[in-house]
Structure 1
């Protein structure tokens, strides 16, 4: 995988296909593989860039002195787009995390087209269940490591209403969660990146971003799963009302991880929006 050397450290990414650029952004304790079906679909007629961000499932740690937080993570995405010289018509797509909203609020000129697909928003930050659990664990020395060990047995990842289980209407394949958890268990520097991020979370950050997006002049598409138990579906509708001219698509049999539950429908929504 190619690597972009950025101010906080290296970011590995995949870059496939040709045509209009689409940047796919994942959430915490995931890597770019969450997008594999969507990326393969879109790469037929688009240039698809999928970075693995330093969100706990990365294998290239940030610099030890990196000032890492949700806000600097958002700005890092903008820096990554600058480094790859993505054009103005590039489509930024985010699932689960809310960093794209923060980036669009601070650098609206960099994000002229964005797709918010089942993300942190408003007062749901950190999101209930997994988000609040990780944030609490980060406050305790060794807490994130203990959490990673607790999730090692595969059955525990599918306990109803917790962890990865609450994020999908179906199930997250074990091969994905195995890969997502391995760096967290095996690399102290990876854990340090995630702990920094979680300890710098501010509960009002997404409310501030939403307020700024009232003046957003780019194009926006909101995609949400009707069965989302982590990111309230009404938040998708609120975002669509709040962002001027935003479009809304709601999907059935779909939770937070839309790229896993409804990859074809999401790819088609992105493709239509990109046109």
Structure 2
């Protein structure tokens, strides 16, 4: 695994890369208020099977380097940042993997320009008119105002709150480690510039925009894997069923013992499903 940075028109992106240079590229897109560590060791597991993995931290409230002050950062604009990442690294036939808010961003990306995408993997994520689910839509509204978001985040300085049912606690089956939640929350708690970035993202957020994108997802005719946890309280299995019926070539697999953050609860299972989906062997 190698940590790298890349300077894009919108700002600097940090990412970790693993796997052989000639391997098929896999690009991961995490959700709101988490970073690349959301993927646990899934990228490294896939790298061991010959894939070239790119796990970046996107400007979704847990990024440590603020974007340029004039950079547009709506959900569609974040999708454009990912496209510029693919362009700059000249990645083609990409396996695009999205989770949570990142799954919505992936859908915006397909709507914008799917020419570099070879296939799509979505774990539990926003879709149709669920963007985001309750109660996170309340957090999104507060986050449109940097000062209000700072006030709202103060209780999350305490691990009991951050990792409890009002924080990340309902998003995983296993307890979230305090080190993980502190890492995710620190940029928004400590950086005015990151909070301003987040406000730009949330001011550009409209639930109706994702519902509109859903009317065009059928245009993406390449393979889609929906790796879903049906016990998730927020992104219900009906969303996976709807996506399966929308994409022309989609397959749904279920993980019964996970929650929203499938990659944290079942990293080995997710890596195996992605590897089988793209047709690579085991690491032995």
Residue in 1 aligned with 2:80? 75
1:117 lines up with 2:119 in the alignment: no
Kindly tell me the number of residue pairs found equivalent between the two proteins. Answer: 272
* 8 A contact 1:15–1:48 mirrored in 2: yes
Moved more, 210-219 or 114-123: 210-219
> Which of 12, 15, 20 lines up with 1:13 in the alignment?
15
> Which of 67, 70, 73 lines up with 1:65 in the alignment?
70
> Which of 150, 168, 185 lines up with 2:155 in the alignment?
150
Alpha-carbon deviation of 1:147? 2.3
How large is the RMSD of aligned CA atoms in angstroms?
1.3
Separation of aligned partners in 1, 2:204 and 2:7:
23
Q: Which runs of 5+ in 2 are unaligned?
A: 280-284
* 8 A contact 1:71–1:102 mirrored in 2: yes
Separation of aligned partners in 1, 2:26 and 2:216:
24
Separation of aligned partners in 2, 1:139 and 1:95:
22
* 8 A contact 2:33–2:61 mirrored in 1: yes
Q: Which runs of 5+ in 1 are unaligned?
A: none
* 8 A contact 1:230–1:256 mirrored in 2: yes
Provide the TM-score with structure 1 as the length reference: 0.95
* 8 A contact 1:104–1:110 mirrored in 2: no
Residue in 2 aligned with 1:190? 194
Separation of aligned partners in 1, 2:116 and 2:105:
14
Separation of aligned partners in 2, 1:267 and 1:234:
23
> Which of 29, 38, 48 lines up with 2:53 in the alignment?
48
* 8 A contact 1:103–1:111 mirrored in 2: no
Provide the TM-score with structure 2 as the length reference: 0.92
